[in-house]
Structure 1
């Protein structure tokens, strides 16, 4: 049984590298998906405040499709091109530093999901996140308060989260979305990536 979440209104999450995301957003952010998986750039980085220092929390990242539209890049911009492919369940991404950590540990510095890779392979069973090319997505961070008296594995914890046995403390949705593609279409984004 999970501990009840109390005092969650004081939890604050912000994008640690927001200025970089803002630069990309200004020119329409694109992420490349490949069969073997490609890392995101800009990286997904958060700063958390207001967690109870001695309580344990699990951070789970999801990448959510923004709408039911398939896009195409034409005349220098992304435009609607029809109905989207069927939705697939979003694979949960646990932070690479562990299933859960203390609030103090999460608040110590920047929390970076820099090992996340995007794939367009429906056969991928590894840690990569399967997304469709020509669709728009955004990252969502779920923060869960964990009862440290219970043993957890990633599988059992995720099942308990799905069944709402572990209460969610906060959900943080990125203000910035991105289009998935097989190669960068926006030359300005390519220039920013090379400078960063």
Structure 2
């Protein structure tokens, strides 16, 4: 995904271990379209299909590790192709493909 999704952490317990994951979820059950420079509701969206959550490859790591290095999800691929078996794919439905 470009630009890469990077996260910085603070306030974690240095000795505790944390699993870091990335998931994108809908804010509501609507479908949207971009019209006249703004997003507008364009009907009801399709039901959410089960999808894997993308766990950061350095998980489980200590709070000290995450606060020092942060997390970079540069390998994430956003796609609407549910047959894509890319190891770091985030599957999203698009209005044109749903």
Q: Would the TM-score normalized by the shorter structure come out above 0.5?
A: yes
The offset of 1:88, in angstroms, is: 1.4
Q: What SS does the aligned partner of 2:33 have?
A: strand
Cα shift at 1:40: 4.3
Write out aligned runs for 1:95-134 (5 A).
Answer: 95-96=56-57, 98-127=58-87, 128-134=89-95
Paired position in structure 2 for 1:74 = 35
Q: Against the structure 1 CA distance between its residues 40 and 83, is the aligned structure 2 distance closer, same or farther, given a 3 Å change threshold? A: farther
Question: Comparing both structures, which one devotes a greater share of its residues to helix?
Answer: 1
**One of 82, 89, 110 as aligned partner of 2:50:** 89
- CA deviations 1:119-170 (Å, max 9, x no partner) are 1112122321110124xxxxxxxxxxxxxxxxxxxxxxxxxxxxxxxxxxxx
Q: Indicate the larger mover: 125-134 or 61-70.
A: 125-134
1:51 aligns to what? Answer: 12
Deviating beyond 6 angstroms after TM superposition, the runs of 4 or more aligned structure 1 residues are none
Rounded to whole Å, the distance in 2 between the matches of 1:90 and 1:77 is 29
Aligned residue pairs, count: 96
- C-alpha distance in 1 between matches for 2:69 and 2:24: 23
Larger radius of gyration: 1
Q: Which runs of 5+ in 2 are unaligned?
A: none
Using CA pairs under 8 Å that are at least 6 residues apart, name the structure with larger relative contact order, 1 or 2: 2
